[in-house]
Amino acid sequence: MNRASLLITLLMGALTVLLWAVVNRPDIEPPWPAKVEGFSFSPMRGEQSPVRREYPDIAQIDEDLALLAGDAHAVRTYTVEGTMGEVPRLALAHGLNVTLGAWISEQDKRNEEEIARLIKVYRENHKQVVRVIIGNETILREEQTVEEMIGHLEKVRKSVWAPISTAEPWHIWLKHPELVRHVDFIAVHLLPYWEGIPVDEAVDYVLDRYQALKQAFPDKRIVISEVGWPSNGRTRQGAVASRANQAKFLRRFLAAAERDKLVYYVMEAFDQPWKREIEGDVGSHWGIYDAEREPKFEFTTPVVAVPNWSSLAAISIGLSVLILALMFRDSRGLSSSGRGFLALVAYAITTFVVWLLYDFTQQYMTPAMLVVGAALFLAALGVIVVLLAEAHEWAEALWLKQWRRSPLPAALPEHRLPRVSIHVPAYNEPPDMLVQTLDALAGLDYPDFEVLVIDNNTRDEAVWQPVQAHCEKLGARFRFFHVAPLSGFKAGALNFALRHTDPAAEVVAVIDSDYVVEANWLRELVPFLEDPKMAIVQAPQDYRDGDENLFKAMCNAEYRGFFRIGMVTRNERNAIIQHGTMTMVRRSVLDEVEGWSEWCITEDAELGLRIFERGYTATYIPHSYGKGLMPDTFLDFKKQRFRWAYGAVLIMRQHLAELFGLEKSALTRGQRYHFIAGWLPWLADGFNLAFNLAAIGWSAAMVLMPLDVAPPHVIFAVLPLTLFIFKISKMFFLYRL
């Protein structure tokens, strides 16, 4: 890493620290009071769940009450089922009052049992029970009607002498004033997160709703039976769930409650992982203490979004330095702007990944969530690799000061120009098109060449015989072969031609049967092969029908992107993709590697890779010397792309050891990088299909089983969307050049 690269890396590191510091700047908030009025108390631990009637044991409940004893005056329970009926007795030893709750649902028999149990528990512990709440948002859930709830309230009133009520959100009380007449106090839930209120407006919102109830029912005492904010979960409109926002809301609310002498129960004492079953992920994160009974934020010091942000920033910088050390390793010709661009991308990606992992670790994980999270993380790593490769190509295409590898051909006198054998494979091609190709070859400005036309397996004589006749008309330079049967497809035809090539030919050139070449093609490019290490001279694929319609214009623009940008940058590291048209190969090298591979449907790219593995060089001349015809329909285009993609997979499978340096070859690091990075998008597209199908299946599952299947975390969508936007931006930015 040179001085400029080091300076850019350090500068971006400093900016990264600044970014983390700005995002996590401390916010001064009112301190937590010495004691709060009360906590909503659900002491379930781990996977315990009241839905499955799994409750903590007596010792666990007692331990939790002891933890809260010095911080609160009271606790509120939601049921007396199981060991929860022991809470009033245990609370006595810790000096805690209890608001005793009964859970009311649509199950009438269970409701009767719950009410009977509540009356029994109350009578045994009435000195500790200051209030009784029958039902929790039962009317909101539409599990009981207002009339049915009034019946439950009146039944309990006959057996207990503490004030009684039912707990509902504020709008239920305003909607049903008849319910108010049957309670001793209004137990109201004020949870601005669920209503999408931003945290900076949330306390005022709570106080406004409180005042609205007070004005509507001036003779009733109001108890805020739930008030709180989640520390994690999905954003609802303007409400963002985070530990910092939880601390801000509660510390602000508690200061206001102390000022206005409100009676309230903070929602809630401890995180409850089981609640994801009924409320989604956010339901697990309302506790002041986490599931391990550790406080989730500071109670008196300034609030910081991520308290350990400096460690995360250091990890981000460390990962960025490692990535940039690799990306700057071979960037001598890259300008400072290009290095800065790569540094910006690297730091942005690593910062996001560190944040992604941090946020993911704040969740309460089930085995299924861990499996899904691991799969999504592996997919995210794949996206990151593709994104870095795209950024590297963008930087080199735009900010390379000077092409380091632009060999100039030697000026060869006429008598030193080698004999060239031009091979034209054809299968069932329109004779008029092929005649046009041959006429262009006949007009080449080159002294010594032959043309071999190999028609393999065309059955219709009316297709191949006119071509044969035209070759005879063009003279001895043109030789025509009709071979049927002939195995090996195009590679088989090219190997057949190689066996029939004039022994005096030192260069083998190949074009597709639809290409019309320029007269100066051989004269200008053959001299590059004067260098004995030069084995391949490649000119671009180009097309003469790109303006026929919009579809072909779009295809042509896409083709040119690769041949005007991708191949040029690959040429810098002697890593071009050889194409089976407009290409020249040294005859001796072609013999050395034993010709074209008939097992591979992209025999041209595979041949080029084998030649590189032998230590030879190639060059790419970004000037069009011939134009062919592109696919006429999208179906034809798709077939072509499938062949390219499938061929790339076959090549990678066959040459995996050489590409990854596991088997000795002459491939350089730059060549291995370009072949792997260049074909990686083909593999990524295959994985994309799998993930798209999985996303469709997941979406269907969310619709069919909304309580059992939650959406994956939205943060996982950021990377693929970023890659999509990045690639689109790159395409428009570079193609306009």
pLDDT tens digits for 348-404? 999 988 988 888 787 777 777 777 777 777 888 888 888 888 888 888 888 876 666
Which residues partner with 424 through β-bridges? Answer: 453
Burial of 228 (0-12, 13-18, 19+ CB in 10 A): buried
> Quick one: pLDDT at residue 74?
97
> Quick one: pLDDT at residue 1?
58
Distance from C-alpha of 400 to C-alpha of 395, rounded to nearest angstrom: 7
Mean pLDDT score, 541-553: 91
Mean pLDDT score, 19-37: 92
Q: Look at residue 515 and tell me whether its pLDDT is greater than 70.
A: yes
pLDDT in tens, 313-344: 999 999 999 998 888 877 777 888 888 888 99
**Three-state DSSP class for 595?**
coil
The DSSP letter of residue 366 is P
Q: Look at residue 737 and tell me whether its pLDDT is greater than 60.
A: no
> Quick one: pLDDT at residue 412?
78
CB 139 within 8 A of CB 146: yes
CB 251 within 8 A of CB 302: no
Q: How far is CA 326 from the centre of its chain?
A: 23
| Helical ranges in 261-366 per DSSP H | 276-279, 309-327, 336-361
> Quick one: pLDDT at residue 238?
94
Other C-beta atoms closer than 10 Å to the C-beta of 672 total 19
Q: Look at residue 186 and tell me whether its pLDDT is greater than 60.
A: yes
pLDDT in tens, 613-643: 999 999 999 999 999 999 999 999 999 889 9
pLDDT in tens, 248-297: 999 999 999 999 999 999 999 999 999 988 888 889 999 999 999 999 99
Mean pLDDT score, 140-156: 96
Structural tokens at position 524? 């200008």
Task: Of 427, 440, 449, give the one whose Cα is nearest residue 501.
Answer: 449
Helices 634-654, 669-704: crossing angle, 10 deg rounding? 120
Q: Which fold does the domain 34-284 belong to in CATH?
A: TIM Barrel (3.20.20)
Q: Domain coordinates of the chain in residue numbers?
A: 10-31+306-399+668-737, 34-284, 418-634
Window from 167-171, 388-392, 586-590 with minimum mean pLDDT: 388-392
Helix, strand, coil fractions of the chain, as percent rounded to 5: 55, 15, 35
Which residues partner with 226 through β-bridges? Answer: 189
CB 197 within 8 A of CB 677: no
Proportion of the chain above pLDDT 70, given as a percent = 97
**Three-state DSSP class for 699?**
helix
Indicate the pLDDT class of residue 721, thresholds 50, 70 and 90. confident
Residue 203 corresponds to which amino acid? V
Task: Of 45, 268, 246, 51, give the one whose Cα is nearest residue 167.
Answer: 268
Helices 309-327, 336-361: crossing angle, 10 deg rounding? 140
Query: What is the pLDDT of the chain when averaged over all its residues?
Result: 91
Window from 263-267, 479-483, 559-563, 600-604 with minimum mean pLDDT: 559-563
Structural tokens at position 4? 């400029």
Distance from C-alpha of 113 to C-alpha of 108, rounded to nearest angstrom: 9
Give the CATH number of domain 418-634: 3.90.550.10
